């Protein structure tokens, strides 16, 4: 609610198209969050219970979010905030909206933390470290930069981004289980990778090839997601 009010207060202060973009960012997060809860809970969804269960963890994560992000992801958030500030959006609002995209993962982080009995902070640290290590952050950002000529392509990009979020959550949960706790993830990561050397090597090679490519399309990204899926399921 505070974001809606802050954006509305900028009438005749910032360009109307900038206000529209801010509002669309909020609407998009709400839509994705709603879909996430419906998909994860199905017919058992109880909105009131879900809010009570997730709100404390999401609030704690939002308060210290920047401390958990990888350097590249933090730089991306800072760049997005700077772009808004250049358009006369107040710094606090610009940073808050810029954090929304990465805060969407908070639903997965809190869910994992509840399942494994770990703190949201330790789980977030593991989640974002795994995201950086296996290229999830870069893959999502790359997918979102792909131009869409029609609604079908837009939906395909959205589905790709959602799949990458699901894969990162699944991989994080699996590695935490293997490590025996979120705090130990970084310690056991090397041994975990060695035990899956073939799949890890294939993911690494695919990411290197993609980063060197002049043009990237969804078909190329789908190869990466398939290899990551094999790593998770292997």
Tens of pLDDT along the chain (234 residues) come to: 688 899 999 998 899 999 999 999 889 888 888 888 888 877 777 878 888 888 899 999 988 888 899 888 899 899 999 999 999 999 999 999 998 888 889 999 999 999 999 999 999 999 999 999 999 999 999 998 888 888 898 899 989 999 999 999 999 998 888 887 777 777 778 888 888 899 999 999 999 999 999 999 999 999 999 999 998 887
Helix segments in the chain, DSSP class H: 2-8, 16-41, 47-63, 65-68, 71-86, 91-103, 106-116, 120-133, 136-145, 151-179, 185-195, 197-212, 218-233
CB 182 within 8 A of CB 175: no
Supply the pTM of this predicted model: 0.88
Please report, for the chain, the start and end positions of each structural domain, with discontinuous segments joined by +. Answer: 1-103, 122-234
Residues 6+ apart with CB under 8 A from 89: 10, 14, 18, 22, 97
């Amino acid at each position: 609610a505070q974001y809606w009010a802050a954006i509305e207060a900028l009438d005749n202060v910032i360009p109307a198209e900038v206000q529209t973009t801010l509002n669309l960012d909020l609407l998009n997060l709400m839509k994705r969050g709603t879909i996430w809860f419906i998909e994860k809970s199905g017919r058992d969804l109880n909105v009131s219970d879900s809010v009570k269960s997730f709100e404390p963890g999401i609030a704690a994560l939002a308060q210290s979010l920047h401390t958990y992000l990888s350097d590249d992801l933090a730089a991306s958030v800072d760049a997005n905030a700077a772009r808004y500030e250049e358009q006369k959006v107040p710094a606090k609002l610009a940073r808050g909206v810029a954090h929304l995209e990465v805060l969407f993962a908070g639903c997965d982080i809190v869910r994992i933390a509840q399942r494994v009995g770990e703190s949201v902070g330790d789980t977030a640290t593991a989640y974002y470290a795994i995201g950086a290590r296996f290229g999830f952050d870069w893959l999502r950002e790359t997918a979102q930069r792909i131009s869409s000529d029609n609604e079908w392509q837009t939906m395909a990009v959205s589905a790709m981004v959602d799949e990458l979020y699901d894969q990162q959550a699944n991989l994080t949960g699996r590695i935490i289980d293997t490590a025996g706790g979120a705090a130990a993830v970084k310690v056991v990561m090397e041994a975990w990778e060695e035990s899956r050397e073939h799949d890890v090597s294939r993911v690494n090679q695919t990411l290197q090839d993609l980063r060197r490519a002049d043009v990237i399309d969804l078909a190329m990204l789908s190869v990466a997601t398939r290899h990551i899926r094999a790593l998770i399921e292997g």
